[in-house]
Chains A and B, each alone.
Chain A
Amino acid sequence: FMLTQPHSVSESPGKTVTISCTGSSGSIATNYVQWYQQRPGSAPTTVIYQNSLRPSGVPDRFSGSIDSSSNSASLTISGLKTDDEADYYCQSHDSSKWVFGGGTKLTV
């Protein structure tokens, strides 16, 4: 089971961007999907958990969703700020194995 993300995306400040995460097999809806933000030189932090929930402190500009028809999860960031520039990783499970997507570099 693999999670595939685009290598990079780019958008202007104030715009909206969506990062996809596609499951290779089975149903991505079977297990929760998480999204992590990693700024250069820093540890990852959780921006979305349980498919669509935001930890306290994460602005509502960040949203997550699942699309069973395309077997994919998505992270959408609206009102882009330069501070959102980072690598984003999706993560889920395959049986008891933790699986990470390859990461997407967001340039704002």
Chain B
Amino acid sequence: QLQLQESGPGLVKPSETLSLTCTVSGDSISGSRYYWGWIRQPPGKGLEWIGSLYYTGITYYTPSLKSRVTISVDTSKNQFSLKLSSVTAADTAVYFCLGVVVINMLGQWGQGTQVTVSS
């Protein structure tokens, strides 16, 4: 069964870069079986899609964050990563990674990781 686990610093200073990693187990991150995505949830608010990595290698980002976001994959470690630059307090949220089966859109979520932006 596919499992995902987020990791990274829980505290980031304003103007710095937030870096998170999602480690995938139970299946290979390579190949054409899955889409991979990052979603965040600010305190007391709903889910916000950040961006996705398709098996073609193409990435898609939400327009409001596109200038600051990079999603990449490390197949040797079975991981994919999120980098969000120039963070502010508005980027404080729980960050989730998500793996979605391409043929039927069945999704498996990571447990989430809290990231606070503060000096």
Give A contacts to B, CB under 8 Å: 32, 34, 36, 38, 43-46, 49-50, 53, 55, 87, 89, 91, 96-103
Q: Do A53 and B49 have beta carbons less than 8 Å apart?
A: no
Residue ID in chain A nearest B108 by CB atoms: A46
Known: A43-B96, A43-B112. A50 touches B48 (CB 8 A): no
Residues from chain A with a CB closer than 8 A to the CB of B106 are 46, 49-50, 53, 55
Residues from chain A with a CB closer than 8 A to the CB of B37 are 98
Give B contacts to A, CB under 8 Å: 37, 39, 46-49, 52, 54, 58, 60, 62, 96, 104-112
| CB of B35, distance to nearest CB on chain A (Å) | 9
- Can you list 21 A-B contacts (CB < 8 A)? A32-B105, A34-B105, A36-B107, A38-B47, A43-B96, A43-B111, A43-B112, A44-B96, A45-B109, A46-B109, A50-B104, A50-B106, A53-B104, A87-B46, A98-B37, A98-B39, A99-B49, A100-B47, A100-B48, A101-B46, A102-B46
